[in-house]
A and B are shown apart, each in its own frame.
Chain A
Amino acid sequence: MRGDDAMTSNRGTPLVEMRDISIAFGGIKAVDHVSVDLYPGEVVGLLGHNGAGKSTLIKCLSGAYHADSGEILINGQKVNISNPRDARALNIETIYQTLALADNLDAASNLFLGRELVTPLGFVDDSQMEAETRKIMGRLNPNFRKFKEPVSALSGGQRQSVAIARAVYFNAKILIMDEPTAALGPHETQMVSELIQELKRQGLGIFLIEHDIHNVMKLCDRAVVMKNGQRVGTVNVNEVTDDDILGMIIMGKKPPQAV
């Protein structure tokens, strides 16, 4: 996909640039001066132990947290993201590890939560939303049938596909996926990876938080490794081995190729 040049290359303006982000909770530095960037059509993996600060860093982009310092640039423009609404307005969509679904509502209500389609009189248009949901689910997961049930009645894979549909439906430019395959079986994992490839072809930029090193090698272009809130380094995935990355994660050891 990419040329053989260095990773912070001359590929134009990055889609996302997070510069020198820091955030602390009660004296504990969850993220400590970390910078990452993301280009269109690229998948950047975020790796590290539990508590390394990956999710926290990414929540500054999705609007769930507000960074104490540092800046975020989208398409080279400095932006201020102080809540999830701001992030959505910038076409940043997030699939949380917890999926963030309201279990008591059906798939359509979840897909459009916070962005309901309304009739001219201002009432929520459930039929229209269900029709749209059927359309997108037909693309993502053609076997999905449970449109009337609350999502608590769905299987893990079905719930995941609702969460993915929500992110994809609204023309995301930047997609954040927090362990999208953690709760899935092999078949469903395969479908998620195919979807990631497809979205990549469409030119989306994807941040992928992932523990499974094989998925990282398979899906990601670059990998950013974090440890104790700090960035260990960033590598081009095709220039390093599994062991190099594991070394970064476990020992914080930076291979020579990394920046």
Chain B
Amino acid sequence: MSKEFLSQYLLYWLIAVLFMIGPIGMIFKNNLMKKLMAMNIMQVAVIIFFLALGQKMDATLPIEIPGLTGVTNYINPLPHALMLTAIVVSLSTTGVALALLLLIQKKYGVLEEDEVLRRMDQ
């Protein structure tokens, strides 16, 4: 288990597994809240993917340290900056989804999808 194996292969496989939990959970879970959680896990997987892109072996924070020069000594800050925005997007999506779930709960009394759909048709 070398460092290289972990950082270049296993990490991305784990991210792929995490990403696939999203669609699978959304398809196979019946509870709307669980679907929402699966959606969140999927968004987090994308965020971790971006963060993994910014990492470098043996590099430090992207703040200039006197005497330490060269691009290989600093990690790439851009993916982190992008993911701040993506986290905000994920947060607001979750907020909207929770508001909708509250409404569904208030109007139908349940959060199980098949039950909601059955009551919707009545």
Do A and B share a complex?
A: no
Interface residues, chain A, CB within 8 Å of chain B? none
Interface residues, chain B, CB within 8 Å of chain A? none
